[in-house]
Structure 1
Amino acid sequence: MTDLQECRKEIDEIDSQILRLFEKRMKVCEDVAQYKIETGKQVLDSKREREKLDTLGARAHGEFNSLGIQEVFQQIMAISRKRQYQLLTANGVGEEKDYEMVDQLPLKDVNVVFQGVEGAYSYAAMRAYFPEEIKSYHADTFREAMEEASSGRADYAVLPIENSTQGIVTDIYDLLTEYQLHIVGEQVIPVDHVLLGLPGSSLENIRTVYSHPQALAQCKLFLENHQEWKTVKAENTAASAKKIKEEQEISQAAIASRAAGELFGLDILAENICHNDRNVTRFIVVSRKPVYEKKARKVSVCFELPHSSGTLYNMLSHIIYNGLNMSRIESRPIPGKTWEYRFFVDFEGNLEDPAVKNAIRGLEAEANRMRVLGNYELQEET
C-alpha cells in the first residue's frame, strides 16, 4: 500500500525545487524588463508565448500533462509580465497623463444638463450633487444630454446608469463608448414611487397609468392588483406626471416621485407601491474634461478582448494581482462583432496609486481596446 506521508514528503521536496526555480526565473524576468526599459520593446510578445506553450505541450507525456503544463506556464508568463509592468511603472516608462488631478471639481456657476424634466429623478440627483449656484436645463434623451456635454454647451451631464431593482441602463453604457466623455462623479438617489392623479381623483376613477418602463416594472406587484388598469410606457416618470397635469383627464394617473407630484400640483393616490423598499438609482456625472479629484477612490474602465479562451481571466488578474477590490463587472455586445463583448469594470483606487497604474498598464497592453472612463468619489445615498 502506498504510504501517504512519504508521498507528501516527496511532493514537498519537489515543490521546494519548483519554488527555487520559479524565483530564479523571476530574477531573469527582471533582467528582461530592464532590457525592455532600455530599448522600448513591448512586454507582451504573443507570438513567442504561443510558440513556447506549443513547444512545452509537445514535450510533455500524455494529453493531460500536455494541457496541464501549458496552463502552468501560461500563468507563469502572466506573472512575469505583471512583474515587468511593475518595473516599467516604477521607472516611469511610457506613462501618459491622460487625466489631470485637481483638488476639487468646479461645481459652482456651471451649466448642467439632465435627461428628463424638472421633477424627474435625474433632476433630484443633480440637485443632490451640485450646489444651488448652477444653471441647469433638460434634454429629452440620453444621447442629447451626451451631445450637450460633448459639445461644451454643458459643463456636466447627469445620467442614470443603474437601478438596484432593474439593473443597468444599457443605453448609457453604450453611449459611454461612443462619446469621449469622462465620469467625474456619482450620486445615489432613493427611488420612492407614488401613484399621482388629478386633485379630487381616486383609485376608483383610474383607467390608465403612465410611467417609464422601469418604473412600471418596479411597481409590477401593485399594478397586478389592478388588472382593470391599462399601463402605457412614457419617456420618464416626471414627463408622465406632466402629462396628467396638462391633459386634465381624471381617469389618468402617473407613477412618479413625490417631488414630481408637488411640482405639477397632483395628489398622491397610493404610496409604497414599489415592491422593493430599498430601491435606489445610481447616477453618473460626466464631463468632456479628463479630470479627477485628489480624493477619488473609484476607477471605471472598459475594454474589448481577443476572442480566445482565458482572456477575460487574464484581464481581471491585473486587477486582482495588484490587490485592487473590483466592485462591478458588466458586459455589452460589440456592434458588428458576433458573440464578442465589451466589458465595463469598476474597482477601488486612485489614478495616482502605483497599484492602479500597474493594473491599467497591463489592461492597456493586453486588451484589443481599453479606456479609462473616469476616477471619482462615491457620493453617499441621500
Structure 2
Amino acid sequence: MTDLERYRDEIDEIDSEIVRLFEKRMKVSEEVAEYKIKTGKQVLDPVRESQKIHTLKNKAHGDFNSLGVQELFRQIMAISRKRQYQLLTEHGIYGERNFTTVKHVPLENATVVFQGVEGAYSYAAMRQYFGKNIESYHVKTWRTAMEDVTHGTADYAVLPIENSTAGIVADIYDLLMEYRLYIVGEQIIRVDHVLLGMPDAQIGDIREVCSHPQGLAQCKAFLEENPSWKKKEVENTAGAAKKVSEVRDKGVAAIASREAGEVFGLKVLAENICREKANSTRFIIVSRKPEYEEKAGKISICFELPHESGTLYNMLSHIIYNGLNMTKIESRPIPGKSWEYRFFVDFTGKLGESAVENALRGIEAEANVLRVLGNY
C-alpha cells in the first residue's frame, strides 16, 4: 500500500465517523425540536449559537482550523434548524399568512389602471390578461397606478417588471416595497419595436429619436448605426408615438409598437430594429387583496439581511434544501442604509405546501425582514 492509499483509507474512516456523529447530533436536534414545539420556544436562538461557535472555534488549533470549525458548525446548526422547521410543519404549526385562495382572479367587471396611453405595451398586456369586459384607464406614472390601487380607485394595476433584453425595471421593485400591494398574476408580451415617423417623413429626415429608456436600450445596436441621431427619453413607448404626432416634425421619430403607430397615425420607417429576436417584457398584475389562484405555481418574496458574511447563502439554502426551484434573484439598495441590500426572489411552489412553508418559516426567522409579494 502506498502512502497516498493509506492516507485515503484513514480519511475514509474519519469521514464515516463524522457521518455517524452527525446523525447522532441530528437525532438530538429532533428531540430539541419536540421540546420547542411543546413549549412554544423559537427555533433560532442567535445568542446560544454565537456562544457555541465561539467556544468551538477556540478549541481548534491554529487560525485556519479555527475558521474552518466556525464555518463547519455554522452549516451544521443551519441544517439542524431546517430539520426543526420541517418538524414544526409536520406538527401542523404553520406561519401566519394573510393570503386567501380563490378559484381565479376576477377578470370581468374590474377596474384596471395602466401606465402610458392606448397603444402601449402595458395596454396590450392588460388586454391579453383581462380581456375586454373591464373598465380601464391610463395614468402618467407607475407610482400613480400604485396609489390608485392602494386607495381603491382601481382594482388592479398592470406594471412592467422585466425585459428579456434590457433587464429589470428597477423602479417597480422599489415601489413593490413602498406600497402594500400583492402580485396576483403575470403576462408576458412579445416586444416588436418599429421606428415611427410622420406620414411624409423619410428615414433620412430623422434628427431625434424618442422612447422609453428600455425601448432605447433594446434597440441600442440599431441606434448605434445612426450615431448622429439625438436620443431622448420619455415616459413610455406609446407616449413617444403620441409626442411625434403632436410635434408634427419630420425630424422626430419614435421607437414604439406598430399598434401605437396606428393609434397616432404614424408611418413605419424601419422594422426589426430590435436585434434580439426573443425580446419580451414580463408584466405583473398587482392588487390590494392578498389572494392567489388555485393553479398558482410561482411565489415572489423580498427579504432584508444582516450585513454579515454568508447570510445570503443561508437564506437561499432554505429554498434549495426544501427542493424548490429558484427562478430569479435581484438585489436593490435599501434606502437610507449604505451598502445594504434587499433581495427579491422568485421560486416555484404554492402557499400552504409543506416545502414552501418550511422555506418561508426559515427565511422569516432568520432574515431582518420578509415579505411575501404574491403567489401567482
| TM-score computed with the length of structure 1 as normaliser | 0.96
Q: Which residue of 2 aligns with 1:300?
A: 300
Secondary structure of the structure 2 residue equivalent to 1:335: coil
Q: Which residue of 2 aligns with 1:191?
A: 191
Q: Which residue of 2 aligns with 1:92?
A: 92
Do the aligned partners of 2:245 and 2:266 also contact (CA within 8 Å) in 1?
yes
Match status 1:229 vs 2:229: yes
Mean alpha-carbon deviation: is it higher for 166-175 or for 97-106? 97-106
Structure 1 distance, partners of 2:59, 2:96, is 42
Match status 1:45 vs 2:23: no
Q: Which residue of 1 aligns with 2:118?
A: 118
Match status 1:207 vs 2:170: no
Secondary structure of the structure 2 residue equivalent to 1:101: strand
Do the aligned partners of 2:304 and 2:368 also contact (CA within 8 Å) in 1?
yes
Structure 1 distance, partners of 2:200, 2:331, is 47
1:65-96 Cα shifts (integer Å, max 9, x gaps): 11111111111100000000001111122531
1:289-345 Cα shifts (integer Å, max 9, x gaps): 000111111111000001111111110110010011111110000011111000000
Q: Which residue of 2 aligns with 1:265?
A: 265
How far has the Cα of 1:9 moved from its partner? Answer: 2.0
- Paired AA for residue 237 in structure 2: T
How far has the Cα of 1:250 moved from its partner? Answer: 2.3
Q: Which residue of 1 aligns with 2:318?
A: 318
1:96-149 Cα shifts (integer Å, max 9, x gaps): 132111121111110000111111111111111112101111111010010111
Structure 2 distance, partners of 1:138, 1:77, is 52
How far has the Cα of 1:216 moved from its partner? Answer: 1.5
Q: Which residue of 1 aligns with 2:284?
A: 284
Q: Which residue of 2 aligns with 1:106?
A: 106
Do the aligned partners of 2:94 and 2:357 also contact (CA within 8 Å) in 1?
no
- Paired AA for residue 269 in structure 1: L
1:127-184 Cα shifts (integer Å, max 9, x gaps): 1111210111111101001011111111110000011111111100000001110011
Secondary structure of the structure 2 residue equivalent to 1:59: coil
Structure 1 distance, partners of 2:306, 2:224, is 46
Mean alpha-carbon deviation: is it higher for 355-364 or for 260-269? 260-269
Secondary structure of the structure 2 residue equivalent to 1:189: strand
The share of aligned pairs that are identical, in percent, is 68
Q: Which residue of 2 aligns with 1:379?
A: none
Q: Which residue of 1 aligns with 2:156?
A: 156
Q: Which residue of 1 aligns with 2:238?
A: 238
Structure 1 distance, partners of 2:136, 2:255, is 24
- Paired AA for residue 78 in structure 1: A
List alignment gaps of at least 5 residues for structure 2.
none
Mean alpha-carbon deviation: is it higher for 264-273 or for 243-252? 243-252
Secondary structure of the structure 1 residue equivalent to 2:324: coil
Structure 2 distance, partners of 1:95, 1:325, is 21
How far has the Cα of 1:246 moved from its partner? Answer: 2.1
How far has the Cα of 1:19 moved from its partner? Answer: 1.4
Structure 2 distance, partners of 1:369, 1:69, is 29
Secondary structure of the structure 1 residue equivalent to 2:58: helix
Structure 1 distance, partners of 2:279, 2:42, is 47
Structure 1 distance, partners of 2:290, 2:11, is 53
* CA RMSD between the two structures: 1.3
List alignment gaps of at least 5 residues for structure 1.
377-382
How far has the Cα of 1:267 moved from its partner? Answer: 1.0
How does 1:58-73 map onto structure 2 within 5 Å?
58-73=58-73
Structure 1 distance, partners of 2:205, 2:193, is 20
How far has the Cα of 1:2 moved from its partner? Answer: 5.5
Q: Which residue of 2 aligns with 1:348?
A: 348
How far has the Cα of 1:221 moved from its partner? Answer: 2.1
- Paired AA for residue 292 in structure 1: Y
1:233-267 Cα shifts (integer Å, max 9, x gaps): 11111011111112222222111101101111111
- Paired AA for residue 282 in structure 2: R
- Paired AA for residue 374 in structure 2: G
How far has the Cα of 1:11 moved from its partner? Answer: 1.8
Structure 2 distance, partners of 1:90, 1:172, is 37
Structure 2 distance, partners of 1:278, 1:34, is 52
- Paired AA for residue 45 in structure 2: D
Q: Which residue of 1 aligns with 2:334?
A: 334
Q: Which residue of 2 aligns with 1:380?
A: none
Structure 2 distance, partners of 1:104, 1:237, is 31
The number of residues matched between the two structures is 376
Q: Which residue of 1 aligns with 2:371?
A: 371
Structure 2 distance, partners of 1:37, 1:16, is 32
Structure 1 distance, partners of 2:366, 2:153, is 36
1:41-60 Cα shifts (integer Å, max 9, x gaps): 11101111011111001111
- Paired AA for residue 273 in structure 2: I
- Paired AA for residue 354 in structure 1: S
Report runs of 4+ in structure 1 exceeding 6 Å deviation.
none
